[in-house]
Amino acid sequence: MKINVNKYIQIAKENKITPFQLSYSYTKETTVTVFNESVEEQTIGNSYQLLAKGIVNGKLGLYSTDKIDSSTPKVVVENILESSKFGKEEKKENFFAGGKKYKKAKIYSPNFIDASLSELQKVALEISKKVKNANPKVEKVEVTLTKVESEDQMYNDLGLKAKEKERYYSLYVSVICSSDNDTQTGFDSAHSFTSLSEIKEKADEVISSAIKQGVDFINSKPIKSGKYKGVLSPKVVASLLGFYLSGLNAKSCQKHISPFEGKLNQQICSKALTIKHTPHIESTSATSFDSEGYPTSDFIIIKKGILLNYFHSLETARNESVEPNGCGAGLGEAIGQVASLMPSKKSEEELFSKVKKGIYITNVKGLNAGIDKQTLNFSLPCEGYEIIDGKVSKATSMIICSGNLKDLFNDVIAVSNNTKNLSSIITPSLLVKKITISGN
C-alpha cells in the first residue's frame, strides 16, 4: 500500500498545520512455531502504521492509525487539529528539516535470500528435531522462526525525507528439561540478516545454550545469603546496562530527575568501562535515523568510566547548545539505539580465576518489575553458578541479586573478550567486586 505524502502535506497546509510530519511504516511478518516436532502455529501478518504530528498555534497535535485508505489524509488532519487544541507547547525547531546524510544501518542486505512459509516450516522442524535429540532430559521444545520485512519512511513539510528498509530472520528456541522430579527451562535466540542457512549455522549454538540453561539448573539449590564477588554474563550485563544507560537521557537531566545530571566529563563508573553508541551495527535495534528523523551517529558515551555524552533529542540539544546525536525518542525524550561495551583481551576464564569464592550470574529475571528506572535500585531473581577457587562450580538458582546499578558499574574490576550481540547492547562479561545475594 503506497501513500501520497504530498496529499497529506497539502491538506495539512490548507489547515495551517505547520510543521507537519508523517512517519509511515509497513511490516510483513511470517512466523512458524513448532511445538514438540509438530507445526502448531503459522502466521502471516501485514501491518501499516501512520504516525502524524503537527503544530497548530504553537501547540502539538499527535495522531496515529493503521487504517490507511482514501479518507485517511482528512482524518489525520482532523485529529491533529483536535489534539493540538490543548496539546504540548511546541517549537518549530523541534522538527528536523533534513539536509543531513544518513549512514546506513546494516539491517537490509542486498544478498538476503528469501524463504517461503514452507521453507521456514522445514527448517523449524529440523531444528526442533535436533533439540529433542540433543539431550534425553529435554522433555518439551518450542521453536519459533520468523521472517520480518519492514520499511520506515519519514517526511515533513520542512524538507525531511528519510527511508529505511530492514529484513531478517529470527530464531527462538525454548526448552523444558526434566529429571529427578525437577523441571527447569532454558531459551536462546539468534538473528540473520542474510539467510535461513545462516540461521541453521547459528542454531547449534542456540540449542546448546538453551539446553545448558535447562539441564544445568535441575535440582540446583540456592546459595547462602551474602555479598559475593562475581562475574556477570553478557546476557546479564545487557539486561542491566540498558536500564543504566536510560539515565543518560538528556531530558531527565535537564528536568533534574536523573542521577547523572551535571556529570559530563566526570567519572561515573569503573575505569574498566568504555561504552560506544553504535547504531549502525548489524542488530535488530540498529537504525539510520531516530524517531525525529535525525541521522543516528557513532559516538563515545563513556570512556574509561568518564561520561562524555548524553543522549540528545533536537529539543535537549538546543537547550544545551550542542549538536543533536540522533537519539530522539519523541516528546523531547532521548534514548540510545545500540550501545557497545568495549571488550578487553582477557578471556572469561581469566575473570573467573580472579574469584576465590563468588558467583557467576548467567540470567536475571523480572526486569519488568524489579528495577526502578529512577533510582536504579534493583532486586531481581537470578541464577548462575558458584565460583570456587577460580573455577565455575555448582549451579545455583532461586536466589535474588540486589543493589544499585550505579554502585554495580562502579564496582567493575575487569571486562572480558567474549562479546555477544544482544540486540540493543553488545557486551562481554564483567567481573564485579561485590553483589548482594539473597538465598538460603
Question: By C-beta, is 57 or 225 nearer to other proteins?
Answer: 225
Q: How far apart (Å, rounded) are the C-alpha atoms in residues 122 and 131?
A: 14
Minimum distance of other proteins from residue 256's CB (angstroms) = 6
Question: By C-beta, is 72 or 337 nearer to other proteins?
Answer: 72
Minimum distance of other proteins from residue 69's CB (angstroms) = 8
Question: By C-beta, is 6 or 116 nearer to other proteins?
Answer: 116
Nearest C-alpha neighbor of 50 from the set 94, 29, 84, 80: 80
Burial of 14 by CB count in 10 Å (0-12 exposed, 13-18 middle, 19+ buried)?
exposed
List residues near other proteins by CB under 8 A.
1, 35, 38-48, 60-68, 79, 82-89, 117, 140, 176, 183-185, 222, 225, 255-257, 259, 331, 365-366, 368-370, 372, 374-375, 377, 379-381, 397-403, 436-440
Question: Hey, is 361 helix, strand or coil?
Answer: strand
Question: By C-beta, is 134 or 176 nearer to other proteins?
Answer: 176
Minimum distance of other proteins from residue 379's CB (angstroms) = 4
Q: How far apart (Å, rounded) are the C-alpha atoms in residues 11 and 6?
A: 9
Question: By C-beta, is 60 or 430 nearer to other proteins?
Answer: 60
Q: Going by DSSP bridges, is the β-strand pair 161-179/275-277 parallel, antiparallel, or unpaired?
A: unpaired
- Copy the grid coordinates of residue 188: 536462546
Question: Hey, is 389 helix, strand or coil?
Answer: coil
Minimum distance of other proteins from residue 125's CB (angstroms) = 13
Task: Quote the Cα angle for 52-100-97, to 5°.
Answer: 40
Question: By C-beta, is 408 or 425 nearer to other proteins?
Answer: 408
Question: By C-beta, is 52 or 412 nearer to other proteins?
Answer: 52
Minimum distance of other proteins from residue 142's CB (angstroms) = 8
Burial of 408 by CB count in 10 Å (0-12 exposed, 13-18 middle, 19+ buried)?
buried
Question: By C-beta, is 46 or 133 nearer to other proteins?
Answer: 46
Minimum distance of other proteins from residue 214's CB (angstroms) = 10
Question: By C-beta, is 87 or 234 nearer to other proteins?
Answer: 87
Quickly list DSSP for 259-319: TTTT-TTSB-S-TT--EEE-TTSSSTT--SB-TTSPBP--EEEEETTEE---B--HHHHHH
Minimum distance of other proteins from residue 144's CB (angstroms) = 11
- Copy the grid coordinates of residue 183: 523441571
Q: Residue 304: CA atoms inside 13 Å, Cβ hemisphere, count? A: 0
Quickly list DSSP for 126-137: HHHHHHHHH-TT
Which CA distances in Å does 80 have to 29, 55, 159, 328?
A: 30, 8, 20, 21
Question: By C-beta, is 53 or 191 nearer to other proteins?
Answer: 53
Q: How far apart (Å, rounded) are the C-alpha atoms in residues 299 and 330?
A: 21
Bin 343: left if φ > 0, else alpha if -120 < ψ < 50, else beta.
Answer: beta
- Dihedral sign from CA coordinates of 266, 268, 273, 276: negative
How far from the centroid of its chain's Cα atoms is residue 396's Cα?
Answer: 27
Minimum distance of other proteins from residue 66's CB (angstroms) = 4
Burial of 111 by CB count in 10 Å (0-12 exposed, 13-18 middle, 19+ buried)?
exposed
Q: How far apart (Å, rounded) are the C-alpha atoms in residues 104 and 416?
A: 29
Question: By C-beta, is 213 or 416 nearer to other proteins?
Answer: 213
Question: By C-beta, is 44 or 322 nearer to other proteins?
Answer: 44
Please say whether the beta carbons of 403 and 436 come within 8 A. Answer: yes
Please say whether the beta carbons of 83 and 53 come within 8 A. Answer: no
